[in-house]
Homo-oligomer: A and B are copies of this chain.
């Protein structure tokens, strides 16, 4: 494949993005843009391709408003066009691996038995090697790959975003009915368009010098 974006354009988009503090409450993502970001989430990479996650896209103004108190009063959830709640499987299990293997066999039109070595690798490396806490931690990390994918995709489409870890996870899980689905929220990202009044938009981006965070060997 040829590159679809030039190096300067990519870096311009990544420089342009920032953790938006004030969204313009009157602006909404159009259907194509929202659908594109949803597909970017679906296409996000995960360990073994296992996708131990669910993405809850909240557009309903009432539910967005209800999110504010469990997000320590941060107004982004209310004013953003959508709030994306990243949730990881609370108890990732062998059953989930089997569901994935069955789906893989169907998509690739091969007998399930042909995927047995792959299945054993996934079971051994993820389900059997980790206790329940470590499996949730593993699943949670995968949701952060999806978050990085969403943030980069949004920037390239000119969509603003605010990733947030500061929230009452149990409260969010209760509000959205995640527990009953075997899910736990890990991180939240509001998406929409920055308010012209957000003073944070104009602040210089703070990054450590490249030589401090990148080592060449």
Q: Do residues B5 and A59 form an inter-chain contact, with CB atoms below 8 A?
A: no
Q: Which residue of B lies closest to A87 (CB)?
A: B215
Number of interface residues of A (CB under 8 A): 83
CB neighbours of A103 from chain B (8 A):
206, 208
Q: Are A43 and B58 in contact (CB under 8 A)?
A: no
How far is it, in angstroms, between the C-alpha of A57 and the C-alpha of B214 when the chains are bound?
7
Interface residues of A in 37-90 (CB under 8 A from B): 38-45, 47, 49, 51, 53-60, 63
B205 touches A43 (CB 8 A): yes
- How many copies the complex holds: the figure is 2
B10 and A40 within 8 A (CB): yes
Cβ-neighbour of A217 out of B49, B56, B142 (below 8 A): B56
With both beta carbons as reference points, the residue of chain B lying nearest to A165 in the complex is identified as B47
Q: Which of B40, B104, B144, B166 contacts A125 (CB 8 A)?
A: B166
Partner of A10, one of B12, B57, B156: B156
Classify the interface of chain A: helix, strand, loop or mixed: helix
Flag if B107 contacts A49 (CB, 8 Å): no
A11 engages B40 (CB within 8 Å):
yes
In the bound complex, how far is the Cα of B107 from the Cα of A147, in angstroms? 26
Other-chain contact of A1, B3, B13, B53, B137 (Cβ < 8 Å): B13
A158 at the interface (CB under 8 A from B): yes
Distance A207 CA – B60 CA, assembled complex (angstroms)? 27
Contact A156 B156 (CB under 8 A): yes
* Complex A-B, nearest 5 residue pairs according to Cβ-Cβ distance, in ascending order: A148-B148, A144-B144, A3-B158, A7-B36, A152-B152
- With A42-B208, A100-B208, A137-B137 known, 12 other A-B pairs at CB within 8 A are A15-B43, A19-B45, A19-B49, A54-B215, A59-B216, A104-B206, A108-B203, A144-B148, A145-B151, A145-B163, A148-B148, A152-B153
